[in-house]
Amino acid sequence: MKNNVVMMFVAILMMTSCNAQTGHKEDKKVNLEEMTAEQKASYSYGILLADNLKRGNFEGLDAELIGQAIKDVLSGNETLLDVNAATVEWQVYAQSQQVKQQEKDAAKFNENKEAGEKFLEENKSKEGVVVLPSGLQYKIITKGDGPIPGPNDKVKTHYHGTLIDGTVFDSSVERGEPISFPVGGVIAGWTEALQLMPVGSKWELYIPYDLAYGARRAGEKIAPYSALVFEVELLGIE
């Protein structure tokens, strides 16, 4: 359930109300080759809307009612709700679906959560590993002697990120290009670690799921409740 789905829904209502046309046209099937540019755009927009709804795992939506609402607005017919009321109804529904999905994910990925907790429990007793009160763990690979960034600084880093089984999900090292970002603009585990690292340091971070992406999925490889491992080199403060 993403905000862009909600915004797309609202955008449809607002756009169609502003560009309402009079008269009601019957549905008619045409081949792609026979479509005008406007028809292709209309069909394409419908695909994008449906794809976003499907990806959002929304349950119980009635495709016919969605289509009827769009037709009513386009044709200038009176709708059961105005745009503001429709926005509220959609937001209430979307939030309820988000809660349901989180509950499903919690059950589905409980095994993933337990694996991360077991990994961190075993890892904290290894030589050189420091455990912070937040649950973040780190090991110093290279000790730097430069300044330490603050919460409002922008830093330049090289990193290599893996799951606890060693699966690589992102790596500036493999891309051969460091990345810059605000200290406060990343996951909590990174934000905490960066404010302890002198420039020139290279640390290995072991990040609990609640200091990473929590119950959310991130990309194709990071499932909900995933503990993450990063090798981070702090190259400088910009």
Length of the chain: 238
Report d(CA 118, CA 132) in Å as an integer. Answer: 17
Q: Is the pLDDT of residue 154 over 60?
A: yes
Residues 194 and 183: beta-carbon distance below 8 Å: yes
Higher-confidence residue of 27 and 139: namely: 139
Query: Nearest 5°: phi and psi at 227?
Result: -80, 145
Report d(CA 238, CA 234) in Å as an integer. Answer: 11
Q: Is the pLDDT of residue 29 over 80?
A: no
pTM above 0.85, yes or no: no
Q: Angle at which helices 3-18 and 37-55 pack, to 10 degrees? A: 150
pLDDT digits (tens, 9 = 90+) for 64-109: 898 899 888 888 999 999 999 999 998 998 889 888 877 877 777 8
Q: What was the pLDDT predicted at 18?
A: 45
Residues 9 and 15: beta-carbon distance below 8 Å: no
The kind and range of the H/E element at 158 are strand 154-163
Residue 120 burial (CB count, 10 A): 20
Q: What was the pLDDT predicted at 144?
A: 94
Strands 179-182 and 228-237, how do they pair?
unpaired
Query: Is residue 32 very low, low, confident or very high in pLDDT (cuts 50, 70, 90)?
Result: confident
Point out the least confidently predicted range of 48-57, 187-196, 213-222.
Answer: 48-57
The kind and range of the H/E element at 3 are helix 3-18
Which positions are annotated as active-site residues? 159, 169-170, 187, 213, 230
Q: The tokens of 217 are what?
A: 């999925």
- From the centroid of its chain, how far is CA 158? 22
Report d(CA 154, CA 34) in Å as an integer. Answer: 53
Spatial CA neighbour of 164 closest among 203, 122, 130: 122
Mean per-residue pLDDT for 113-142? 96
Going along the chain from its start, the domains and CATH numbers come out as: 3-107 (no CATH), 110-237 (3.10.50.40)
Report d(CA 74, CA 21) in Å as an integer. Answer: 5
The mean of the pLDDT values for the chain is: 86
pLDDT digits (tens, 9 = 90+) for 179-212: 999 999 999 999 999 999 999 999 999 999 999 9
Report d(CA 218, CA 112) in Å as an integer. Answer: 14
Report d(CA 227, CA 208) in Å as an integer. Answer: 5
Q: Can you say whether the dihedral through the CA atoms of 164, 144, 196, 188 is positive or negative?
A: negative
